[in-house]
Amino acid sequence: MAELPADSGDARAWRRWVVTFAASFFGLIALLLAAIILIDPYDAGYFPSIIGPGAVDNNEYTNHASRARDPRFDAAIFGNSHGQLLNPTVLSKATGLALVQLYARGTGPADQMHMMNFFLHHHPRARGIVLVADTFWCTHDAALPPPVDIPFPAWLYSNDRVVYLAHMLNVRMTKRMYLRVMMALGRVEAANPDGFSDYESGKAWSFQPTVPADAGATQASSGPIRPDTSFPAIDRFDRMISTMPAETAVAIVMPPVFHTYLPAPGSAAAADLRACKDLLTRSAGRRPNGAFLDFMTDSEISREPRNFMDVDHMRSNVAHVIESRLAAALAAPARPVGTSP
């Protein structure tokens, strides 16, 4: 096939089409980026926005970006659904802190620390951090895999503008931008700013566990148990909180589980859990204002089914007990506190 002469009409028309297409394509990308920057679909604060604060979706994986940078808060609660019922308003009134609830269901230590880093980036003088550390924090896997396979948006909490923009160029952003504009016009209500959500609301209690006859029985051991004392999630948490101001209070809570969910006394699993708790206690103890509250014990709370929605999710009456003791620890956390309810 013969090539078109460089000065032919067809060649010039082709060049004009290519230039027009490229200008239109890159112009559209530029307009989309400008809209993303000005509207800020997630209210993540990577760029100045013409719209006020507030997230408009009900997904805590994404709407916590708005809450975590909100200057009205100076302290935060981190964890997954095991700490979801801790009420930031109750704790704020009891401690004088301004707490926000940044739980995210199904997450493990890695995802929770992404949100912690984002919060601390926006609150370098944070007054308090509460970590609800369940057994996922006792993992020995340095990769810190999530408990469930969830598409957690770590890029949203990266504190990197380039990474943020690279993930924003998609069709979903148009809907989020539309909702943010509707929020600014008063047509759509913003999500609850303090992050509290009650998983008991609208649900009937139905936890009727079957308790084995040998529940709680000591498990015989053939010899001394030497648990694995490597807990990479806690090590990473230690490094993170070591950079915080000395006056920042740090409270670590191990939430309760129904007693049949606890490892049998004398078992390797029980020794492993004890080693994990010891490291969490030392982690809190390294802070001038640190406290470790252990509710994951065989206790009156853990033996009463009415205290649980299922084997590892407490009800609000138990959350109120934890709030009371947590408030005391945050108000005057002079030393690590081991709590056995």
- pLDDT tens digits for range 140-162: 999 999 998 888 999 999 999 99
Which position has the higher pLDDT, 172 or 139? 139
pLDDT at site 220: 56
Instruction: Give the largest CA-CA distance in the chain.
Output: 93
d(CA 139, CA 145): 9
Taking alpha carbons only, the member of 67, 146, 150, 71 closest to residue 113 is 146
Q: How far apart are the first and last CA of the chain?
A: 86
- 63-153+192-209+226-331 CATH, one of 3.40.630.30, 2.60.120.560, 3.90.700.10, 3.40.50.1110: 3.40.50.1110
Does residue 339 carry a pLDDT above 60? no
- Least confident range from 43-47, 65-69, 217-221: namely 217-221
d(CA 19, CA 17): 5
Domain boundaries, the chain: 63-153+192-209+226-331
pLDDT tier, 221 (very low <50, low <70, confident <90, very high otherwise):
low
Residue range 270-297: average pLDDT?
A: 95
Beta-carbon contacts of residue 238 (< 8 Å; ≥ 6 apart): 283, 286
Count CB atoms within 10 A of the CB of residue 148. Answer: 10
Q: Judge contact between 195 and 130, C-beta under 8 A.
A: no
Instruction: Dig out the tokens for 244 from the structure.
Output: 């915080």
**Is 306 strand, coil or helix?**
helix
d(CA 135, CA 303): 19
DSSP E strands: which ranges in 133-284?
249-254
Quick: pLDDT tens for 65-122.
999 999 999 999 999 999 999 999 999 999 999 999 999 999 999 999 999 999 999 9
Does residue 51 carry a pLDDT above 70? yes
Rg (CA), the chain: 25
pLDDT at site 212: 80
- For residue 78, the cross-strand partners are 102, 131
Taking alpha carbons only, the member of 91, 50, 53 closest to residue 69 is 53
d(CA 55, CA 69): 11
Count CB atoms within 10 A of the CB of residue 83. Answer: 23
- For residue 249, the cross-strand partners are 128
Residue range 216-223: average pLDDT?
A: 62
Beta-carbon contacts of residue 27 (< 8 Å; ≥ 6 apart): none
Does residue 222 carry a pLDDT above 70? no
- Least confident range from 51-55, 194-198, 203-207, 280-284: namely 51-55
Does residue 34 carry a pLDDT above 70? yes
Quick: pLDDT tens for 312-322.
999 999 999 99
Does residue 29 carry a pLDDT above 70? no
Instruction: Dig out the tokens for 25 from the structure.
Output: 């394509």
**Is 40 strand, coil or helix?**
coil
CA distances to 80, 289, 291, 326, 336 from 283, rounded to whole Å, are 20, 11, 9, 17, 9
pLDDT tier, 252 (very low <50, low <70, confident <90, very high otherwise):
very high
Taking alpha carbons only, the member of 305, 332, 329, 331 closest to residue 318 is 305
Nearest 5°: phi and psi at 130?
-115, 125
To the nearest 5 percent, what fractions of the chain are helix, strand and coil? Answer: 40, 10, 50
Q: Judge contact between 258 and 209, C-beta under 8 A.
A: yes
Residue range 177-188: average pLDDT?
A: 91
